[in-house]
Amino acid sequence: MAGSAVRVRSRRRVRRTGQRLQLTAVVERDRFGYVATCPQLQGCYTQGQSYEEVVRNIRDAIRLHLEDRLASGEPLPEPGEVTLAILDVAV
Sheet containing strand 45-48, edge to edge, reads: 26-30, 33-37, 45-48
The answer as to whether 62 is a domain residue is yes
When divided into structural domains, the chain yields a total of: 1
The answer as to whether 14 is a domain residue is no
3-class DSSP string for the chain: CCEEEEEEECCEEEECCEEEECCCCEEEEECCEEEEECCCCCCCEEEECCHHHHHHHHHHHHHHHHHHHHHCCCCCCCCCEEEEEEECCCC
This prediction has a pTM of 0.75
Q: Which is more confidently placed, 14 or 75?
A: 75
pLDDT, tens digit, for every residue of 22-60? 899 999 999 999 999 999 999 999 999 999 999 999 999
Q: Which is more confidently placed, 61 or 5?
A: 61
The answer as to whether 6 is a domain residue is no
pLDDT tops 90 at residue 80: no
Where residue 24 sits, what CATH number does that domain have? Answer: 3.30.160.250
